[in-house]
Structure 1
Amino acid sequence: MEVSGYCAPGFESLFRTFADNFRERGDTGAGLAVQQHGETIISLWAGSADRKGEAEFTEDTIANVFSSSKGVLALLALQQVAAGKLELDRPVMEYWPEFAARGKEQVTLRQLLSHRSGVVAFQDKVADSLIYDWDAACAQVAASEPWWTPDSRQGYAPFLYGWSVGGLLERATSTPLVELYREGLADPLELHGGFGAVGHRSAQVADVAPLKKPLPELRENAIGRAIKADRTSAVAMAFSNPVSLVMGTNSRDWREAMIPAANGHFSALDLAVIYGELARDDATILPGELIREAGSEQSAGHDAVLQAEVSFGCGFIRSGAAADLRFGGPQGFGHPGAGGSVGFADPERELGFGYVTTRLGQSLFMDRRAVSLLEQLYGML
């Protein structure tokens, strides 16, 4: 496998580790990027961007990073807190009156960001086409009933997170989410991608597909077991209501929609640049006190949807002891995406990391591809 790109002196062995992901772990198109102290020290890419193997994967190829999108959306929310348009502990209903329906009167932005709102899935069966209609999806979320009393427990919202936080952002600012993203992040950081796959700086969009051979898992599939045990549970409904949530990837409808919890399309360099900024003491995109909110513990424990021990900051997963959630040092924070992509910040080393792949593994956290890259990288720092 021919790997393109560059590594700063001392990091050249990452060429081999990155190539090993193709030879041994099923990658067919992927990118890796690392920023440190505001400089790109690693940017590697290889393979193809399409299923036929005809389009070359390049540095600016954008790929669906699934839940890694959530960290970008959280950053936009924190930017509006910095601008005075939102308050973390003010009820969402004060900006979005319809959101107060069915027991959500006291839900706050902080609870949405730290997955303590109880708004984790649609309880009523919804049409498959709903997810492609931004206004309808936001309205459905506003009308939804929480699965439990808000703030009583932690439960990850795989998809509703995007319409909850994104809908709140639009109503608090009277600005479309796509414009908030462009003005707050895409233009100042010269990012290649964004939410959805169209209208961005890069038009090179990768197709994604499952790994041809599943990788050995780093943890048991507790989510799958919970879904099989009860098809009407919050866990099952969070990932399958509607089924288009997991069946629409690569379609034109999916790529043109606004599904900000799951259909962000970014390059590895995009993620490294975003998190490289968040790792710096002199970040330009967010004040230091809000970066500390992003990475400080807001909620922790056994997550009712992820079926795992997870610690959340304000919109980000915090670095933990498990290999698939270890984002550099103990101060690290970021967000993995289903299938293998990940972006994170390590403030201790002023480092931002991004990895994107076209071949999707079965984990919702990092799998052996990202972990192998991280282990090699941190062995040289």
Structure 2
Amino acid sequence: MIEGKWDNAWEPVVEAFTRNFTEMGEQGAALAIYRFGEPVVNIWAGVRDNQGAGVTGQPWQEDTCVNIFSVGKALVALCVLQLAERGSLVLDKPVADYWPEFAQENKGDITIRQVMCHRTGLSAFRGLLEYEDIFDWQKMVDEIAALKPWWEPGTAQGYSPFIYGWILGELIKRASGCASFDDYFQREVAQPLGIRCRFGVPPEQQVHLADTAPLKNPNGLVINSHGADSLALGKIMKADPRGVTNRAFGNPVSFMTATNSPAWRQAQIPAANGHTNAVALARIFGALANEGRLDDVELLSPAQRQLCSQELSAEDDRVLGLRLRFGHGFMLPQDRPDCRFGRGATAFGHPGSGGSLGFADPDYGLGFGYVTSRMGQSLLIDHRAIRLIDAAYQHVINA
């Protein structure tokens, strides 16, 4: 049963959301949409634990939070752009100007802007890490400071699934004077917008989080909806077990196996372990789609907001094995269904592993937040989210 509120004109979006449960194996999810700074859709359904849809399942609530994985990269980028607007960070300055230890292994010329568009060669750790290492912030930043790039920085694009977040998170921490990255995020984004979104969830709050699990169809079979790109990625990883792609996602193995654990949820892993809900994402991206402002809160000035959709890099990615476009920490759309965040020319956003998605489309004033606990295998935008996006624009364009 779908719960929530929506304007009648958005009924096709609600119908598409319902079909994800009846046809695509969705078991717990939420969707929220803002248009021109106003909420138009806020719906949720299903259960938030791994007990299934039976009597033992805990119902999904409006404020249920779940791991959004790489959608968090966009939220990290927002914080960097805020600090750049205030002059606390300069995007074309080297990271080492703010973090001197980072200059090891000839990394002294890598700029903040290169980190934001994945052109550093710092996509994976070389030496094998221990399972617990990723839960220790200081351990990770020390490892990154000593890391040698996989190729000459600036010469190629290579998606950084995890390291991106620690680099920028450490810069945010140093430039703001906050005790942690999440402290800054709470002060400058979450609290002003009145949203629930944390990077590092206290133990006493973890009982309310949704568990993640593989997406299965109504017959109980794992849905294989990833397409040729994800298959190609798997071949790359098998062909070179010690290569950058394999180690980007699997070194250490806790990157892949620990995501429901208390240690993962409590740690700060900015590129991959933000926990939030659909309304929070819709409010953030709704502000960015609305000249950077929502209600009385200005996240970015209109001029600074334009950097979100400014293309910095567009080429075949050395890690993911397909062509991608990046702005300042945000993915930019391409003419393919699994990479079309919006229909406007200035749309930007970020998908998360398994299916969650947030994006802004300033041309149509649209802020979109979708979260799910059932992880599909699509490499970029999941088929469930594509269905929701198509339904939303069917209304927006025809209105």
Q: Which of 169, 181, 195 matches 2:185?
A: 181
User: Per-residue deviation at 1:219?
Assistant: 3.8
Name the SS for the 2:133 alignment partner.
helix
Q: Distance in 2 between matches of 1:307 and 1:180?
A: 34
Q: Distance in 1 between matches of 2:292 and 2:235?
A: 45
Who is 2:246 aligned against?
Answer: 236
User: Per-residue deviation at 1:216?
Assistant: 2.7
Residues 128 and 203 of structure 1: CA distance in aligned 2, closer, same or farther (over 3 Å): closer
* 1:183-262 alignment, distance < 5 Å: 183-198=187-202, 204-212=208-216, 213-221=222-230, 222-262=232-272
User: Per-residue deviation at 1:138?
Assistant: 1.1
Q: Distance in 1 between matches of 2:278 and 2:258?
A: 22
* 1:158-177 alignment, distance < 5 Å: 158-175=161-178, 176-177=180-181
User: Per-residue deviation at 1:322?
Assistant: 1.2
Q: Is the 8 A contact 1:33 1:268 kept in 2?
A: yes
Q: Is the 8 A contact 2:292 2:305 kept in 1?
A: no
Who is 2:352 aligned against?
Answer: 337
Q: Is the 8 A contact 2:48 2:373 kept in 1?
A: yes
User: Per-residue deviation at 1:42?
Assistant: 0.3
User: Per-residue deviation at 1:245?
Assistant: 0.5
Give the length in aligned residue pairs: 380
Name the SS for the 1:310 alignment partner.
strand
Who is 2:330 aligned against?
Answer: 316
Q: Which of 289, 293, 318 matches 1:279?
A: 289
Q: Is the 8 A contact 1:337 1:364 kept in 2?
A: no
Residues 282 and 181 of structure 1: CA distance in aligned 2, closer, same or farther (over 3 Å): closer
Q: Which of 385, 393, 396 matches 1:370?
A: 385
Partner amino acid, structure 1, of 2:252: P
Who is 1:356 aligned against?
Answer: 371
User: Per-residue deviation at 1:352?
Assistant: 0.4
* 1:85-124 alignment, distance < 5 Å: 85-124=88-127
User: Per-residue deviation at 1:266?
Assistant: 1.1
Residues 300 and 173 of structure 1: CA distance in aligned 2, closer, same or farther (over 3 Å): same
Q: Is the 8 A contact 1:192 1:201 kept in 2?
A: no
Who is 1:55 aligned against?
Answer: 58
Residues 199 and 113 of structure 1: CA distance in aligned 2, closer, same or farther (over 3 Å): farther
User: Per-residue deviation at 1:303?
Assistant: 0.6
In the alignment, structure 2 segments of 5+ residues that lack a partner are: 217-221
User: Per-residue deviation at 1:177?
Assistant: 1.0
C-alpha offsets along residues 338-361 of structure 1, whole Å, 9 cap, x if unaligned? 100100000001110011001001
Q: Is the 8 A contact 1:120 1:147 kept in 2?
A: yes
Q: Distance in 1 between matches of 2:133 and 2:205?
A: 27
Who is 1:39 aligned against?
Answer: 38
Q: State the TM-score, normalizing by the size of structure 1.
A: 0.97
Quick one: percent identity of the two aligned structures? 42
Who is 2:13 aligned against?
Answer: 14
Who is 1:67 aligned against?
Answer: 70
User: Per-residue deviation at 1:282?
Assistant: 5.3
User: Per-residue deviation at 1:190?
Assistant: 0.8
Q: Which of 302, 310, 327 matches 2:341?
A: 327
Q: Distance in 1 between matches of 2:183 and 2:199?
A: 11
Who is 2:219 aligned against?
Answer: none
Partner amino acid, structure 2, of 1:356: V
Q: Which of 265, 268, 275 matches 1:265?
A: 275
Partner amino acid, structure 2, of 1:149: E
Q: Does 1:130 align with 2:133?
A: yes
C-alpha offsets along residues 263-316 of structure 1, whole Å, 9 cap, x if unaligned? 011101111110000011252101122211111100001011111111000000
Partner amino acid, structure 2, of 1:107: I
C-alpha offsets along residues 85-126 of structure 1, whole Å, 9 cap, x if unaligned? 100000110100000010110011100000001111101111
Residues 274 and 201 of structure 1: CA distance in aligned 2, closer, same or farther (over 3 Å): farther
Name the SS for the 1:261 alignment partner.
coil
User: Per-residue deviation at 1:220?
Assistant: 3.1
C-alpha offsets along residues 114-159 of structure 1, whole Å, 9 cap, x if unaligned? 0001111101111111100011111111111111011000000001
Q: Distance in 2 between matches of 1:67 and 1:138?
A: 19
Name the SS for the 2:315 alignment partner.
strand
Name the SS for the 2:132 alignment partner.
helix
Q: Distance in 1 between matches of 2:121 and 2:30?
A: 35
Q: Distance in 2 between matches of 1:200 and 1:298?
A: 41
C-alpha offsets along residues 216-268 of structure 1, whole Å, 9 cap, x if unaligned? 33443221110011011111110011110111011000010000100011101
Who is 2:150 aligned against?
Answer: 147
